[in-house]
Amino acid sequence: MRTRLLSSALILALPGVAVAQEAHTTLSEILVTGQSRGYVAVNSVTATKTDTPLLDVPQSVTVVTRQQLDDQAVRSLGEVLRYVPGVTLGQGEGNRDQITLRGQNTSADFFLDGVRDDTQYYRGLYNLERVEVLKGPYALIFGRGGGGGIVNRVQKTPSAGGAFAGGRASTNSFGAWDLSADVNAPLGDRAALRVNAVYEDLANHRDVYEGERYAVNPYVAMDFGAGWRAGLSYEYVHDDRVTDRGVPSLGGAPITGYRDQFFGVPGVNRTTLEAHILKARIDGALTPDLEFSTTVLFGDYDKVYTNVFANGPATAQTGTVPLSAYTDPTTRQNLLLQSSLVWDLTTGSVGHKILIGLEYGDQDSTNQRRNGVLSNATFNLANPVFPTVSFPALNRDTVSNVKSVSVYVQDQISLGERFDIVAGVRFDRFDIEGVDLQPNPDRPFARVDEKVSPRIGVIFKPQDSLSIYGSFSQSFLPRSGDQFLTLSATQQNLEPERFTNHEVGVKWDVRPNLNLTAALFQLDRTNATTPDPANPTTTINVGETRTQGIELAATGRIRPNWQMAAGYAYQDAALKGNDTVRLAQVPEHHFSLWNRYDVTDRLGFGLGVVHQSSQYAAIRTSAATTRLPAFTRVDAAVFYDLSDTLQLQVNVENLFDRSYFPDAHNNNNISTGAPLNGRVTLSARF
């Protein structure tokens, strides 16, 4: 097992994060993977791993820019994705980011500047320029997983264009508060240092919930001349919070009247994370038409979560609830390398942008689980007394290593002014070896998968600002799943799950700062597995599933003083050939709308709406499946510039104080929505 690459002694003593300032120097433009105009993203390096306008990407992409992140005063990735139709949040057992994209649930399809970021934890926003959500299988670009899509965080980078600094302080109705800072300092004409940092004191509407999170990210970038640039980033993250798995069900619906009631044990339910993430990147021009890029990421993660939770439905409105408990320490060390060449050439009247890539991954994981013994395994709703708990027995103890090697090639072909083709193929070798140390004797497990994943897209542009596309793409997920915990004797002999996406769509840049998109898709998953609703710790094979749907979006400036980000998704997700079996956490309708309207140069208002139709908490295989009711939430904001450098902002969530259940982990771990609450933020920029 590798030792930690960097110690926490490198932590810089800065109290906080982020100013919404975009740097547009030559250095910044090369190191930042994308450009934005307000709420509108212009391009993305992530979607094709080449600098490509989103208009020319033949799949659905949603980008949330830094300005929108700041206007909505979001503090977590989950809050960001709530406003992205087609993405359903999962509870993540109160210890991690977890989402469902086009019917595919995942805790691992997250990326940082296009590099895999698959450890289970809560990701911060303090050092980000934007969040990109790419829909549909993307194995050609990202490799295994990503069956429904991926979420990519784009990091802020240093700028040699000049010094600037910003800071933010905020607090909310529940007593949570945070401080943040963003400082950029040129180091001569060809280098710069940028430091982002944050401290958050956590609180919400739930009883006994608390915690703290702090992180720091120094990043230095250099311009060597002759078209060569390099960057070195180190991030330290500390996260310590209460693990909260929500409320149980009653009669096939979330129990009501217990919005704030905690179903764990105070002082026992806890999750902690220590993470060190080192990322190095170099880009350069080998010739005027041939560019080279390499990124190396080393991540060291040490995480523990301990939880007591509802393990079944309530017997009655004031009856009892069964409880269960376990503790789960995990370590993960990732060494990930990406290298690519991009070659621009012309053959006759045909233009080519050829991408050739190589990726290598070496990931070591350890995981243990100890089931808890409770002094009372039932919780009395009429007389709520928390039990005591101990964790005497080791129930799981695994060590695993994953080595992966991938090569891929993609060609973006321009056939005149009206037709483009994006075509490519990727080869992945995924090799997992591990030992389950808990049985006596030890049980080794291993499997090697070698898969080819194609992608092809055809784009027709009747005019420069309008594209019509069709695409086909595939991805796969090995039987070791998202987190490589173990392989049962049965799973070890099964082929990987396969994802196949067909999509047609339209993208229209009405103006440079306003775009409209529409996509119609069908995603099939073969060899599919899912957590067993009767026993969520095990999986069941369900065969082939199909998700069909449509996604619509409008983003940008309606008028010079009015910005909007709106979207709608319709999804029909079921077992193929059997519509009575419905996939978990896939609402049929999902709508979101966020507006900012500036009345004067100093005063502005924000208004947002999120609507989500009802959804099943777990796969519906019987009438006993819990169904979360539909909800509509309205949010609002006021912005006021106190001076040229100081802004006061007030955000209100759940303006009409609606009761709702936004997400779940299974039939009896259901999150409750927060009541009416406000956040006051004071931001400075210099």
Mean of pLDDT values over 340-364:
96
Confidence check: pLDDT of 103 > 50: yes
* pLDDT in the model for residue 192: 95
* pLDDT in the model for residue 19: 32
Backbone phi, then psi, for 72, in 5-degree steps? -85, -5
* pLDDT in the model for residue 340: 96
Confidence check: pLDDT of 219 > 60: yes
* pLDDT in the model for residue 10: 27
* pLDDT in the model for residue 27: 45
Task: Report the alpha-carbon distance of residue 407 to residue 422 in Å, rounded.
Answer: 17
DSSP track, 264-285 = S-TTT-EEEEEEEEEEEEEEEE
Q: Which residues contact 129 (CB under 8 A, 6 or more apart)?
A: 22, 32, 34, 36, 65, 66, 154, 155, 156, 157
Tens digit of each residue's pLDDT (9 = 90 or more) over 511-528: 999 999 999 999 999 987
Confidence check: pLDDT of 334 > 90: yes
Q: Which two tokens stand for residue 189?
A: 């004409």
Which of 141-150, 560-569, 666-675, 676-685 has the least mean pLDDT? 141-150
* Amino acid present at 467: S
Task: Report the alpha-carbon distance of residue 531 to residue 120 in Å, rounded.
Answer: 17
Tens digit of each residue's pLDDT (9 = 90 or more) over 281-296: 999 999 999 999 999 9
Confidence check: pLDDT of 536 > 80: no
* pLDDT in the model for residue 534: 64
Q: How many residues are given for the chain?
A: 686
Question: What is the maximum span of the chain, computed from C-alpha positions, in angstroms?
Answer: 81
Task: Report the alpha-carbon distance of residue 43 to residue 289 in Å, rounded.
Answer: 20
Task: Report the alpha-carbon distance of residue 45 to residue 53 in Å, rounded.
Answer: 9
Q: Which two tokens stand for residue 61?
A: 């992409």
The candidate with the shortest Cα–Cα distance to 214, out of 203, 198, 194, is 198
Phi/psi class of residue 92: alpha, beta or left (left: φ > 0; alpha: ψ in -120 to 50)? left
Task: Report the alpha-carbon distance of residue 205 to residue 389 in Å, rounded.
Answer: 25
Selected from 3.30.70.260, 1.10.10.60, 2.40.170.20, 3.30.230.10, the CATH number assigned to the domain covering 8-204+214-382+398-685 reads 2.40.170.20
* 568 or 33: which leads in pLDDT: 568
Do 527 and 540 meet the contact criterion of CB atoms below 8 Å apart?
no
Domain ranges in the chain are 8-204+214-382+398-685
Q: 585-621: b or e for each residue (b if 16 or more CB lie within 10 Å)?
A: bbbbebbbbbbbbbeeeeebebbbbbbbbebbbbbbb
Task: Report the alpha-carbon distance of residue 208 to residue 302 in Å, rounded.
Answer: 24
* pLDDT in the model for residue 26: 39
Do 631 and 660 meet the contact criterion of CB atoms below 8 Å apart?
yes
Task: Report the alpha-carbon distance of residue 42 to residue 40 in Å, rounded.
Answer: 6
Tens digit of each residue's pLDDT (9 = 90 or more) over 619-644: 988 777 899 999 999 999 999 999 99
> Can you give the three-state secondary structure of 656-680, one letter per residue?
CCCCCCCCEEECCEECCCCCCEEEE
Tens digit of each residue's pLDDT (9 = 90 or more) over 301-330: 999 999 999 999 999 999 999 999 999 999
Tens digit of each residue's pLDDT (9 = 90 or more) over 161-196: 889 999 999 999 999 999 999 999 999 889 999 999
Q: How confident is the model at residue 658 (pLDDT cuts 50, 70, 90)?
A: very high
Confidence check: pLDDT of 12 > 50: no
Helix (H, G, I), strand (E, B) or coil at 649: strand
Helix (H, G, I), strand (E, B) or coil at 27: helix
* pLDDT in the model for residue 29: 42
